[in-house]
Amino acid sequence: MARALELLDAGQVVALPTETVYGLAADALNPEAVARIFEAKERPRFDPLIVHLPEQKALDHVSKIETEIVPQLTQAFWPGPLTIVLRKRDTIPDIVTAGLETVAIRMSANPIFMKIAAKFGRPIAAPSANRFGQISPTRASHVFDELGGRIALIVDGGPTQHGIESTIVRIVNGSIEILRNGPITAEKLAQFAPIVKGRSSDTVAAPGQLPSHYAPHAKLVVVATLENVLGWSGKRIAALSFRDSTALHRFWTRAYLSERGDLREAAANLFQKLRQLDRQNPDLIVAELVPEEGIGAAINERLRRAAVK
């Protein structure tokens, strides 16, 4: 556990047991640490992650509680396998929520996870500790099979208690909408508010399917290189590139993703830089694709998705 804390403090990822499945944990407030989660999982895209709180009090620090139902649910089911989707505060970096205005939050009841989270004292982002597209690990050995050699530490807490992922809900007009079924059943939740059946969270998580998924307001096009982009005179063109370059300076406004040409840093900055350009109301955003390697694939996927809107 001491080693896990050292790694979390250093912005590294570590596999931890929860009561549902093993999670791949990182400091939720550190965008580069979160980018490492996507790298380790080899996810070809950014999906919103679940944030695990160190204590109930932290809820107000990361999200806006807009209904009395939320404290009722947290009192009844936390720590435990219930994830609640709430409006996020700016404390949570955009890479955690894949640009969404909402954040999925829970508190794990696994004693090892709880101890580490409490000592760490900050929220922990943790998706299931498997490679992209593989099934969720319920034993440390499963994590080792999937991610051995790719991460520095797996904390072995034995087989997980539930073996299935947490229930995910959000509150809509005083009702509880179930986005993913899990250990906390509709029957248990119905004691607190009427239940409405949501779309399955697989559908929600599919590219472009999330209802409030962030997309720039401005029209966006992707290009292989900014070098050849000419003739935009009279238009307010915003340019986004991987690194700083002279080509950037021809544009009305500009941003680059990484000073040192590092894809992880680029991933950590992506959503924020897109917003920054979009807020200036350009006529068009021209985004240069990044090298299609490692986490670069997820960055390019996000840019292409913003372009087809």
DSSP helix/strand/coil, 243: coil
- Count interface residues toward Mg ion (CB under 5 A): 1
Query: What is the rounded distance in angstroms from the CA atom of residue 20 to the CA atom of residue 136?
Result: 9
Task: Give me the phi and psi of 85, to 5 degrees please.
Answer: -90, 120
**β strands within 14-165, DSSP E:** 14-16, 23-27, 50-52, 63-64, 80-88, 102-107, 124-125
Which CB sits closer to ligand AMP, 214 or 232?
214
Which residues does 71 contact at the CB level (< 8 Å), separation at least 6? Answer: 65
Instruction: Output the smallest distance, CB 133 to Mg ion, in A.
Output: 9
Q: How far is the CB of 201 from ligand AMP (least distance, A)?
A: 4
Q: Which residues from 114-143 bind Mg ion, rule CB under 5 A?
A: 128
Looking at beta carbons only, is 238 or 268 nearer to ligand AMP?
A: 268
Look at residue 205 and give the partner it binds from Mg ion, ligand AMP, none, a contact being a CB closer than 5 to 8 Å depending on partner kind: ligand AMP
- 18 vs 258, which CB is nearer to ligand AMP? 18
Spatial distance between the Cα atoms of 186 and 191, rounded to a whole number of angstroms = 9
User: Please, what is the minimum distance in Å from the beta carbon of residue 127 to ligand AMP?
Assistant: 4
Q: Is 18 in the site for Mg ion (CB under 5 A)?
A: no
Q: Which is nearer to ligand AMP, 5 or 205 (CB)?
A: 205
| Residues 41/137, Cβ–Cβ less than 8 Å | no
For the bound state, the minimum distance from the C-beta of residue 88 to ligand AMP, rounded and expressed in Å, comes to 8
Which of Mg ion, ligand AMP, none is residue 48 near (CB under 5 to 8 Å by kind)? ligand AMP
Q: For residues 204-233, b (16+ Cβ closer than 10 Å) or e, as one string?
A: beeeeebeebbbbebebebbeebeebeeee
Whole-number CA gyration radius for the chain = 20
Question: Least distance in Å: CB of 180 to ligand AMP?
Answer: 6
CB of 87 or CB of 131, closer to Mg ion: 131
Q: For tokens 């991610």, what's the residue?
A: 147
At residue 125's C-alpha, the angle toward residues 119 and 131, to 5°, is 125
CB of 54 to Mg ion, least distance (A): 22
- Minimum CB separation of residue 103 from ligand AMP in Å reads 6
Question: Of 214, 206, 209, 201, which is closest to residue 100 (Cα–Cα)?
Answer: 214
Choose the contact partner of 50 out of Mg ion, ligand AMP, none; CB within 5 to 8 A by kind: ligand AMP
Q: Contact positions toward ligand AMP, by CB under 6 A?
A: 47-50, 85, 97, 100, 102-104, 127-128, 165, 168, 179-180, 201, 204-205
Q: Write the CB contacts of 234 (distance below 8 Å, at least 6 apart in sequence).
A: none
Q: Which does 100 bind (CB under 5 to 8 A by kind): ligand AMP, Mg ion, none?
A: ligand AMP
Which residues make up the interface to Mg ion (CB under 5 A)? 128
